Amino acid sequence: MKIGPTFVLSLIASTLMMVPSAQADYVYPMHVERSSNRVIEAFATKLNDTQFVTDAELVNGADKVFLLDRSVTPEAKVLATVSFIDKKQRIAVLTASSISGKAVTVALNPQAPTRQISLLLGTTKADSVVQRYEPKKDLATGPLYVHTVRYTDKQWAAPLVNNCGELLGISVYESGVFSRMTLPEIFAYALGTELLKTTLDAAKVSYTVATDACLSDIELAEKNAEEARKKVEQAQKELEQADKAAQEKLEAAKKAAEAELEKQRLELEKARTEADDVAKKTTEELEKARLELEQLEKDREKVNEDLERLEKEKQSAEQAKQQGDQQKLYLAIGAATIFILGLIIFLVILRKRRAAIAERESQLMQTQREASGLEQEKQQLSAELQQLNRSFNDILLDGVASDGRTARLKINGKALAQKGVQVIGRESTQVDYALAEPEISRKHVQIILRDNRVYVEDLKSQNGSWVNNQALVPHQPVELIQGSQLKLSSFTFTVTFL
């Protein structure tokens, strides 16, 4: 079994979609109140549960500093205190409590020139690349990031992050004439990663550092593509093993069925031979009994003749008695008595003989019925062997869900031809093909082979089934042809007859 290119591309695409994007949950609006009722709007980035980092120039000499927590309703304005400030390095740490939200993760390594960066501007972000990573006179003593993302008023101290959403540095502005705040025109600057971590460590501020280096989009895509390729190879291997195991199991079942059929055929032949022998013997005995019965009939006629003769002799004896011949009368009566006793014994023997013949006929009929039953069993076994020898093309169901998940099922044509039905569902112990997705019912649909045509029947599934966008009525089969679109819940499968 081979995995098609459509499945490979869909798996790679779904893997590439896993590239992380920058999140701004840890960026908080900041209001800095100065003399003459002047309010500067900027940003502060959360380092831990209570501390935030920003540009020192913004909060140096401020009357009050407030952080806005917009995760609650109504919006909370929380007073913050400046717990650490380094004007030379342009880093200030604010402390404020009861502000919800997660803390930022600081990047493990600085971002090299030409690598992707993003400037988080509250609910939005702007993307660019690092132009240079070098010191800048009058801004800080260590290296700074030089880039082309231009922020606007009220976006001072915006955090610079890599494509993994990890903090690289804090935006710092160049002072203009008379120390006024100047927005970037071509290039913008942000404190370097090493300078930021060194200053925070010196201030004993706790923060989380990423454990792994952040990969670029291309590197991450290549990594994900390699992982997807390995998954495809593993899936290919597992499918081949499953197909081989199914073929071996089918061959073993076929051999066992053929061996059992041969055994039953031999037993049937033996039983038929024995039945023929019994029938032949019974026929001979019946013929013998018939001849004996004919002989008995002849004997009965002879007895009747003897009775008539005896009646005549009796009449003669009565006449002799009337004439006084007493001795002759006694002799005639004695002879008649002996003859009657013999006749009674003969009739008893004849009745037993007839009963024996009737019993033998009953046994013969029973034997004939058993032989007929064995013939029916032979016909049934022959039909089962024909069923085992039936075959049909394998059916490939290649599907994708609405959220990009993929699934593939290969219906074994020979198993479908032999059983007539193959069930698809979530519960592997109750179906022939399991699709382990929560929206799939335990027994969702069944594939039916009838008159060499394939049908699908919905088994009252929870989330429904469709063929070519037509909803299936439960327990009403619908024919599938090459290229049919079979939808099971959110998965749409393309039907291919191999």
3-state secondary structure the chain: CCCCHHHHHHHHHHHHCCCCCCCCCCEEEEEEECHHHCEEEEEEEECCCCEEEEEHHHHCCCCEEEEEECCCCCCEEEEEEEEEEECCCCEEEEECCCCCCCCCEECCCCCCCCCEEEEEECCEEEEEECCEEEEECCCEEEEEEEECCCCCCCCECCEEECCCCCEEEEEECEECHHHCEECCCCCEEEECHHHHHHHHHHCCCCCEECCCCCCCHHHHHHHHHHHHHHHHHHHHHHHHHHHHHHHHHHHHHHHHHHHHHHHHHHHHHHHHHHHHHHHHHHHHHHHHHHHHHHHHHHHHHHHHHHHHHHHHHHHHHHHHHHCCCHHHHHHHHHHHHHHHHHHHHHHHHHHHHHHHHHHHHHHHHHHHHHHHHHHHHHHHHHHHHHHHCCCCCCEEEEEEECCCCEEEEEECHHHHHHHCEEEEECCCCCCCEECCCCCCCCCCEEEEEECCEEEEEECCCCCCEEECCEECCCCCCEEECCCCEEEECCEEEEEEEC
The C-alpha atoms of residue 294 and residue 233 are separated, in whole angstroms, by: 89
pLDDT at 303 over 80: no
pLDDT-derived band at 338, boundaries 50, 70, 90: confident
Q: Chain-centre distance of CA 399, in angstroms?
A: 13
What pLDDT score was predicted for residue 17? 36
Nearest Cα to Cα of residue 99 among 55, 121, 68, 74 = 68
- Point out the least confidently predicted range of 237-251, 287-301, 437-451: 287-301
pLDDT-derived band at 313, boundaries 50, 70, 90: confident
Domain ranges of the chain: 5-214, 258-388, 395-497
Nearest Cα to Cα of residue 25 among 8, 52, 46 = 46
Q: Are 191 and 169 in contact (CB under 8 A)?
A: yes
Q: What's the rounded mean pLDDT across residues 197-216?
A: 92
Residue 246 dihedral angles phi and psi, to the nearest 5°: -65, -40
What pLDDT score was predicted for residue 137? 63
Q: Are 269 and 371 in contact (CB under 8 A)?
A: no
Q: Who wins on pLDDT, 50 or 218?
A: 50
Q: Chain-centre distance of CA 274, in angstroms?
A: 53
Nearest Cα to Cα of residue 379 among 254, 261, 271 = 261
What are the pLDDT digits (tens) for 17-69? 333 444 468 999 999 998 878 899 999 999 999 999 999 999 998 999 999 99
What does the CA dihedral 337, 342, 345, 346 come to, rounded to 10 degrees?
Answer: -140
The domains spanning 5-214 and 395-497 adopt the same CATH topology: no
Identity at 199, one-letter amino acid code: T
The C-alpha atoms of residue 442 and residue 425 are separated, in whole angstroms, by: 5
Long-range pairs for 244-250 at CB < 8 Å and ≥24 separation?
246/412, 246/415, 250/412, 250/414, 250/415
Angle between helices 217-322 and 5-16 (to 10 degrees): 130
Neighbour tally for 265: CB within 10 Å: 15
The C-alpha atoms of residue 265 and residue 380 are separated, in whole angstroms, by: 11
What pLDDT score was predicted for residue 1? 45
- Asked if the bond preceding 438 is cis, omega within 30° of 0, the reply is no
What pLDDT score was predicted for residue 419? 87
What pLDDT score was predicted for residue 364? 73
Q: What's the rounded mean pLDDT across residues 266-270?
A: 89
Q: Are 33 and 68 in contact (CB under 8 A)?
A: no
Nearest Cα to Cα of residue 65 among 47, 90, 40, 45 = 40
pLDDT-derived band at 178, boundaries 50, 70, 90: very low
The C-alpha atoms of residue 173 and residue 150 are separated, in whole angstroms, by: 11
CATH topology of domain 258-388: Helix Hairpins (1.10.287)
Indicate the length of the chain as a whole number: 498
CATH class of the region 395-497 = mainly beta
Specify whether domain 5-214 bears CATH 1.10.287.4070: no
pLDDT-derived band at 179, boundaries 50, 70, 90: very low
Long-range pairs for 483-487 at CB < 8 Å and ≥24 separation?
486/397, 486/399, 486/445, 486/456
pLDDT at 374 over 60: yes
Q: Who wins on pLDDT, 1 or 283?
A: 283
The C-alpha atoms of residue 486 and residue 397 are separated, in whole angstroms, by: 8
pLDDT at 209 over 90: yes
Q: What's the rounded mean pLDDT across residues 176-196?
A: 72
> Mean pLDDT for the chain?
83
Q: Who wins on pLDDT, 439 or 311?
A: 439
Residues paired with 337 in a beta bridge: none
Q: What's the rounded mean pLDDT across residues 155-165?
A: 91
Tell me the percentage of the chain whose pLDDT exceeds 90: 36
What are the pLDDT digits (tens) for 110-143? 988 888 889 998 788 888 888 888 777 667 677 8
What pLDDT score was predicted for residue 10? 42
Q: What's the rounded mean pLDDT across residues 69-75?
A: 86
First to last CA, the chain: 11
